[in-house]
Amino acid sequence: MDTVSLLRDLFREAHQTLEATMADVTPEQAHWAPPGCAHPIAALYAHTVLGEDGMLNRLIRKGTPLYTSNWAGKTGLSELPPERSAWSDWARRLRVDLPTLLDYAQAVYATTDAYLASLTPTDLDTEIEMFGQKRTLGSALGGVLLAHVNSHTGEVSCLKGLQGARGYPF
């Protein structure tokens, strides 16, 4: 198996785990505001999907994210997050239509997979700049983007558990 095929498999598994973790989340659970600084499940899920879209399509591919093009106004979010500040405020007031956000997420996942399928293993050694740091494309995809999905899936699982629900589906 080459590295691109491995990345495609890892993203597919990460997406499946996130979606399986979200599958039985009710709107009440999704919008529950946990104590302290943690954010509601709805905001974490939205952030994870928007983050993948934005990092891949804007930062890596230097294009337009789906949420500002084909999916503008159709993501299921009451509002998009602010660019840099007041993210916690946004996370607490956000309202999400979960089925619509799931549809948008599927489009993001398909875009990610199509992009990965277009790469060769040597493409992963290409140097790019991301968040003000130079890194390889492989590091950006695996070390940042894939890790982002997996990290937030764990947070969703934890927040479900705090509400008495089963976190991970396995």
What residue ranges define each of the domains in the chain, with the CATH number in brackets?
Answer: 3-162 (1.20.120.450)
What are the phi and psi torsion angles at 134 (to 5°)? -85, 135
Q: Do residues 135 and 128 make contact, with C-beta atoms less than 8 angstroms apart?
A: yes
The pLDDT assigned to 83 comes to 77
The pLDDT assigned to 150 comes to 98
The pLDDT assigned to 140 comes to 97
pTM: 0.96
The pLDDT assigned to 68 comes to 96
| CA dist list (Å): 152 to 46, 87, 120 | 10, 15, 28
The pLDDT assigned to 50 comes to 97
**Closest to 65 (Cα-Cα) out of 41, 83, 78:** 83
| CA dist list (Å): 78 to 37, 81, 113 | 21, 10, 27
In this prediction, the residues of the chain whose per-residue pLDDT falls under 50 are none
The pLDDT assigned to 40 comes to 98
The pLDDT assigned to 86 comes to 76
What 8-state DSSP symbol labels residue 81? P
> What are the helix and strand counts (H, E) for the chain?
7, 2
Residue 106 half-sphere exposure, CB side, CA atoms within 13 Å?
Answer: 8
pLDDT tens per residue, range 125-157: 999 999 899 999 999 999 999 999 999 999 999
Encoded tokens for 131: 């968040």
